[in-house]
Amino acid sequence: MRQSHILALLPGLCIALTMEACTTTSSKPEVPTMGTQPTSPVEALVAPHRQKAATLESQGDLREALNEWKVALTINPRDSISREAKEKIEERINQAIAAALSRGREALKRRVQVEARRYFLTVLALDPANRIAFELLQNETKEIQLLNHTVRKGETLASIAELYYRDRSRSEVIWETNQLPANPKLEPGMVLKIPEIPGVPFAGPNAPPPQPRARPEAQPEATKTEPPEEQEPEVNPMLAEAREALDRKEFTVALANVDRFLAQNPRNTEGAELKRTVLYQQGKVFFDQKKYAESYTALNQLAKLSPNYQDSPAMLGRARNFLVQEHYGQGIRLYREEKLQAAIGEWRMVLQYDPNHEAAKKNIDQAERMLKGLQDRQQKK
């Protein structure tokens, strides 16, 4: 019996079952009874990727979910569950891409460049190799000028549109750019982004706006119609969109904008700092959500750019420790269930995060020798 084969090898086995944060009561693995047939090693490797894919899909992270289904199929190409799920999520992604492309083109027809760019970047977040979205961004959308406008008492979208475009009907562009609700109520002090509309006269930072309709005696009021905010320097659309995406915690979109900007302006300090901020916030959010693998990935990228950024080194170390303990403990559990190959896979993951983890190295070596012993005994039969 297979149980007797394993028991025959146990006297020489001195596998390290202690975890870094806790210890077990026995130094030898508990071999389960053979009343039920254990899951195959391949199935044990596929299962975690299935579970992670389902979780990511439920959270709306379709791209990462698709990657997990692909990993599952790479491990077991005959897995019908993973194949069916992969086809379904690919269909969802294709539908989302088609909808975003359509809305982006509609925004281009209305000359709302910022809105069009947002939709095309959404497509690239779902499919980084999408040539249509890339070419539309490169050829159809233009680098436009954005101004910040601080709302004054009594102003409406129509009056602001007249101020900048000399056309009250252009208020819809301001409404869409700032993603305002229907019939918005503008409050004094609110800051709106005013985009340039290609082909339409635009009151840029050096062009004085028309004089407001003020009472002749209110001369001091006239001087207040041009606050310093009206003369702020031009804001780069890609960085503006990246900050908006960061505020919405859409980290993939934010990074796509920043990376595209830095590809054109590699020495820009503002872009580099924004990328560090996005990676830090992404790592922190994932860490707080106990998504330690995602947190580690983001913080590890940040460490390559800025090793001592705020408290990221400590957070990165904690994320690494959680991952080491998680994979090491999972390896122990799989070993006790006689799923040796899957256990080895978990311990190899430990070494990816901590190459000097001696217990994982020892466990891999002894589990591989156990597997070889089992294979040799089966061949002799």
Per the listing, tokens 């690494």 go with: 320
CATH topology of domain 45-140: 1.25.40
In total, the chain counts a number of residues equal to 381
Q: What percent of the chain shows pLDDT beyond 90?
A: 9
Token pair for 52: 């992670």
Q: How far apart are CA 255 and CA 275, in angstroms?
A: 7
pLDDT tens digit sequence for 300-353? 999 998 888 888 888 898 999 999 998 988 888 888 888 888 888 899 999 988
Question: Average pLDDT, stretch 270-276?
Answer: 89
Residue 36 has pLDDT above 80, yes or no: no
Q: How high is the pLDDT of residue 214? A: 47
Instruction: Tell me which of 142 and 236 has the higher pLDDT.
Output: 236
Residues with Cβ within 8 Å of 336's Cβ and at least 6 positions away in sequence, in order, are: 29, 30, 31, 32
Q: How high is the pLDDT of residue 296? A: 92
What type of residue is 42?
A: V
Fold: same for 144-205+226-235 and 311-381: no
Highest mean pLDDT among 29-38, 120-129, 301-310: 301-310
Question: Average pLDDT, stretch 240-246?
Answer: 85
Mean pLDDT of the chain: 77
Q: Which residues pair with 191 in a beta bridge?
A: 150
**With bands split at pLDDT 50, 70 and 90, how would you rate the model's confidence at 142?**
low
CATH topology of domain 311-381: 1.25.40
Residue 96 has pLDDT above 70, yes or no: yes
**With bands split at pLDDT 50, 70 and 90, how would you rate the model's confidence at 368?**
confident
Task: Choose among 285, 356, 349: nearest CA to 322.
Answer: 349
- 232: phi > 0 → left, psi -120 to 50 → alpha, else beta; which? beta
Instruction: Tell me which of 49 and 17 has the higher pLDDT.
Output: 49
What type of residue is 327?
A: H
Domain 144-205+226-235 sits in CATH 3.10.350: yes
What type of residue is 231?
A: Q
Q: How far apart are CA 179 and CA 241, in angstroms?
A: 12
Question: Average pLDDT, stretch 33-46?
Answer: 59
Token pair for 350: 């430990």
CB atoms within 10 A of CB 213: 6
Per the listing, tokens 């939709």 go with: 119
**With bands split at pLDDT 50, 70 and 90, how would you rate the model's confidence at 372?**
confident
Q: How far apart are CA 10 and CA 241, in angstroms?
A: 60
Q: How high is the pLDDT of residue 299? A: 93
Determine if the pTM surpasses 0.85.
Answer: no
Torsion of the alpha carbons at 353, 257, 242 and 301, rounded to the nearest 10: 10
Q: What percent of the chain shows pLDDT beyond 70?
A: 78
- Domain ranges within the chain, ordered by starting residue: 45-140, 144-205+226-235, 311-381
Q: Which residues pair with 192 in a beta bridge?
A: 149
Q: How high is the pLDDT of residue 302? A: 92
Token pair for 61: 């992270």
pLDDT tens digit sequence for 187-233? 888 888 887 765 566 665 445 544 544 444 545 554 444 544 444 44
